[in-house]
Amino acid sequence: MASRLDALKQHSLVVADTGDLDAIRRYQPQDATTNPSLILKAFDMPGYQPLIERELAALPAQGDKQERAARAVDHLAVAMGSEIAGVVPGRVSTEVAARLSFDTQASIRKAHELIELYAQRGIGRDRVLIKLASTWEGIRAAEVLEKEGINCNLTLLFSDAQARACFDAGVFLVSPFVGRVTDWYKKETGRDFTPENDPGVQFVRGVCERVSQGGYDTVVMGASFRTTDQVLALAGCPRLTISPALLEELATEHGEVTPAVSLSDPQSSRPAPLDESGFRWEHNQDAMANDKLAEGIRRFDEDQSRLEQRIADRL
């Protein structure tokens, strides 16, 4: 009997939520997605040390150590992404720094820089997804980039308002979170949840339903899983990005996987697009989404700062 991982791949495209090349080779995902937290983990992996030494040695000497370290993060992200692109058949998501999450123009400029760094390594924009936080400013940046032919992955997505704004903007892919949503509700209520009443699972199913009912082209990729039960409860979601630990569990379990996400036929009309005030009001009304978006941006920035300091110490 096939593993649950192989069975899951019959219903959803599997994406590796890691920068670990060995894990990516082992589980053979379609795509891979990275963020500063994952790059920070990769910074200590023996297999990446020659690449890190090479990239740091090649950095231009302009600026002080902190300025050079900040530039080095982009170069390392693209260097690691290029290695990953040589292993996966699909795309690599590469993140714009979280500290730019409320600056549309700076996010666009950073995206252009990342695409240019990939081009210098022979990796075309068709192999890359620019990853942005799902703030109003991040979504507006994605709207511009999509019109330029630069596809985007909108992350840290916790509310219906964020999802609707991404669909309106023509974003290529959204990453609604599962585990962090459930974490919030468990803390607030003191309850445990089964896969069927799990708030994170229900949220992502709702995003999938909204996409299909509206006839939008945006791809939904469930993210931030805590358990394989959560993963399997979203079988049938177009893409699922899964950590190596959960990929290993799925690869060693055997059994059938039944689709749990059903996509509806498009309705005759779509809701009116959200304007900025409507977006901010609707998102504001969701306490969980407000808390988790702000926390996620802070966490990514903290890991980016830690990574910059680790790099500065080696320069």
131 tagged catalytic = yes
Q: Specify the pLDDT at position 21.
A: 86
For residue 161, pLDDT beyond 80? yes
Contacts of 291 (CB under 8 A, 6+ apart): 184
Catalytic entry in 41, 131, 147, 292: 131
Give pLDDT tens digits for 92-129. 999 999 999 999 999 999 999 999 999 999 999 999 99
Alpha-carbon gap, residue 230 to 234, rounded angstroms: 7
Model pLDDT, residue 183? 97
In this predicted structure, the answer to whether residue 55 has a pLDDT above a threshold of 90 is no
User: Do the Cβ atoms of 293 and 158 come closer than 8 Å?
Assistant: yes
> 141: pLDDT confidence band, cut at 50, 70 and 90?
very high
% the chain with pLDDT above 70: 100
CATH number at residue 237: 3.20.20.70
Q: What is the pLDDT of residue 42?
A: 76
More confident residue, 296 or 20: 296
Q: What is the mean pLDDT of residues 187-204?
A: 95
* Integer Cα distance of 14 and 238 in angstroms: 9
DSSP classification of residue 284: H
What is the reported pLDDT for 120?
96
Domain span including residue 288: 4-313
Q: How many domains does the chain have?
A: 1
Tell me the pLDDT tens digit for each residue of 33-43: 877 777 788 77
Helix runs in the chain, H state only: 4-8, 21-27, 36-42, 49-57, 65-85, 104-120, 136-147, 160-168, 179-189, 199-214, 228-232, 244-252, 276-284, 287-314
Residue 315's pLDDT band (cuts 50, 70, 90): confident
Contact 292, 184 (CB under 8 A): yes
d(CA 25, CA 297): 30
CA distance 277 to 281: 6
What is d(CA 308, CA 211) in angstroms, rounded to the nearest whole number? 38
